[in-house]
Chain A
Amino acid sequence: GAVVSQHPSRVICKSGTSVKIECRSLDFQATTMFWYRQFPKQSLMLMATSNEGSKATYEQGVEKDKFLINHASLTLSTLTVTSAHPEDSSFYICSASDVGAQPQHFGDGTRLSIL
């Protein structure tokens, strides 16, 4: 069964809307979760590393004010795409692993479509 749950799986909304995506670890505590984004025919690109109880670490080129990450507990991290625009349309996916362990387990992703 799934060990990482991601919700919602699909979002379609108007430009300017803010969208929140949740990522939960079900069977373990994850001090670190990762947020990736995948454009068509591209690899999964790391956006940010979410650390429980502290600020997220963003990859170069990812706007932290645009993609707000909150990791308030050991089992939940949220990604909020603020004032989304059509160019933010993508497949967003989170992963988590038990403390320091591999492999990382992935959620089923969120397909975000901004009209």
Chain B
Amino acid sequence: DQQVKQNSPSLSVQEGRISILNCDYTNSMFDYFLWYKKYPAEGPTFLISISSIKDKNEDGRFTVFLNKSAKHLSLHIVPSQPGDSAVYFCAARLNQAGTALIFGKGTTLSVSS
């Protein structure tokens, strides 16, 4: 039973437009959410995170929104760039320091120029 779900395996966007990646979760005990970006043959690279006490966190072109009532978070990338093409993983952590992350299956983003 997947606790973190990324229902869209892929997303294609044109350069300059907005990319919206979605993530749903089932466990209300998650207190911290992260987005990682992964290129082939490399480990995931941290992108942006949000605490469960917030509903938005912005860092440059990247913004993460959290809707706790819907158990849904999304990553917005604007404007999208070809270099953003990668697999994006949503991850969540239980409200306990030092615990492992629980990952979604990932969404492959392709940004065309």
- Chain A residues engaging chain B, CB cutoff 8 angstroms: 4, 6, 9, 31-32, 34, 36, 41-46, 49, 93, 95, 97, 99-100, 102-109, 111
Contacts and interface: CB of A to CB of B under 8 A. Distances in A.
Interface in B78-113: 89, 93, 97-106
Contacts of B49: 102-103
B46 A31 contact: no
Interface of B: 2, 4, 9, 32, 34, 36, 41-46, 49, 89, 93, 97-106
Nearest to A32: B98
Nearest to A4: B43
Contacts of B100: 34, 36, 46, 49, 95
B105 A106 contact: no
Given A102-B49, A102-B93, A103-B34, A44 B44 contact: yes
Nearest to B32: A102
A102 B33 CA distance: 10
A34 B103 CA distance: 13
Given A6-B43, A42-B105, 12 more contacts: A34-B100, A36-B100, A43-B2, A43-B4, A43-B89, A43-B104, A46-B102, A102-B34, A106-B36, A106-B45, A108-B42, A111-B41
A107 B43 contact: yes
Contacts of A4: 43
B32 to A, nearest CB: 6
A104 B44 CA distance: 10
A45 B91 CA distance: 11
Q: Which of B32, B44, B49 counts the most chain A CB atoms within 10 A? A: B44
Among A4, A93, A111, residue most surrounded by chain B Cβ atoms (within 10 Å): A93
Given A32-B98, A43-B105, A93 B32 contact: no
Contacts of A41: 9, 105
